[in-house]
Amino acid sequence: MNNAQPGILADVPVAARYLLFRQTTGIDPASALQALANEVDGTGCVIGLGQSLLLSLNTPIDGLHDFPSSSHPGAEVPATPAALWLWLRGDDHGDLLHRGRRLTQLLAPAFTLEQSIDSFRHGIGRDLSGYEDGTENPEGEDAISTAFVNGQGRGMDGSSFVAVQQWLHDFDQLEAMSAQQRDHSIGRRISDNEEIEDAPASAHVKRAAQESFTPEAFMLRRSMPWSRGTESGLVFIAFGHSLQAYEAVLNRMVGGEDGLADGLFRFTRPVTGLTAWCPPVTADGRLDLQTLEL
Ligand code: HEM
């Protein structure tokens, strides 16, 4: 797939910075979006457009809808939409900071920066809990057919739907659990990353087992740890040719099918949640916004 934003398929970078923008009422966003399209190529910066922005352009995208917020006994899954989501990717936080500043200036005054989150790769790609993340990710052709729209025509093919959730870990809770309780909350052994066959039904990988859904719920995860001051956790990111797989897995994780909550909730909780549509790129590597008539 040569018209997908390449940063989606690439391995997670060493360093990342997420920028979330709000749209300014009363200012036509077209020229800011055109400037953005000329500036970024989907490699060093992956871009997602939110529902409110697409609606303001009168170009809703089939398959994009609001993040599914919900409340559960003792747990909230919040929705915190953004007009624009940027994932800056690189290997130096200083460079990312300055690139982010330039893009923020480029997008003003049509868009205002609301939130930035610094992220990083931890070891071989571990969550801060120590567990390896991404083992069951689809690869090669499977990754492409999982993550990107195909067969819907120019302007849509190569695009992707993304779900983004910032999770805040409670390390006191995690450390108060025994080693077995921790392994059972994930469903894999931290020591060798092997799946634990007799883990409880609440174990994360049992809840999320992609092949156990009808239809199968494969997604391309590109999550990265984050930290700010004394707070830290995981920015969970899943790309798909639709949002269906993500929504099905999240629904089971929160107990939507059988009332049983995912073991992850014992030590972490989501504090943000957004969905966005990631446009394809043109042959010369620029963002392709023809679906938005731009
Ligand atoms: C703090 C939040 C989360 C953490 C720490 C986490 C961590 C993990 C870990 C350690 C694995 C096992 C290795 C792997 O296959 O990657 C895993 C698997 C998986 N996770 Fe998560 N996860 C989180 C949130 C989510 C969310 C919100 C979803 C989707 C709604 C999700 C979907 C999946 C899927 C689909 C798998 C693979 C399951 C399989 O087919 O075996 N995860 N996760």
Cα 41 versus chain centre, distance: 18
Cα distance between residue 97 and residue 161, in whole Å: 26
pLDDT, residue 72, reads 87
- Verify whether ligand 1 is closer than 6 Å to residue 256 (CB atom): no
Extended beta strands in 170-223, E state = 220-221
Concatenating the DSSP letter of every residue in 107-137 gives: HTTTEEEEEEEEEE--TTTB-TTS-B--TT-
Which residue owns the Cα nearest ligand 1 atom 43?
133
**Coil vs helix vs strand at 292:** helix
Q: Identify the pLDDT of residue 177.
A: 98
CA of 191 to the centre of ligand 1 (A): 17
What pLDDT does 68 receive?
Answer: 95
- Specify the pLDDT at position 73: 85
Ligand 1 pocket, mutate which of 205, 219, 227 (most atoms under 8 A from CB): 205
The residue whose CB lies within 8 Å of the most ligand 1 atoms, and thus the one to mutate among 129, 136, 170, is 136
pLDDT at 75: 81
Compute the distance between CA of residue 87 and CA of residue 115 in angstroms, rounded to an integer: 12
- Residues of the chain short of pLDDT 50, as ranges, are none
What's the confidence (pLDDT) of residue 49?
A: 98
Residue nearest to atom 31 of ligand 1 (CA): 208
pLDDT in tens, 225-261: 999 999 999 999 999 999 999 999 999 999 999 999 9
Respond yes or no on whether the N-terminal peptide bond of residue 109 is cis (omega within 30° of 0): yes
* CB proximity list for 27: less than 8 A, separation 6 or greater: 109, 110
> What pLDDT does 74 receive?
78
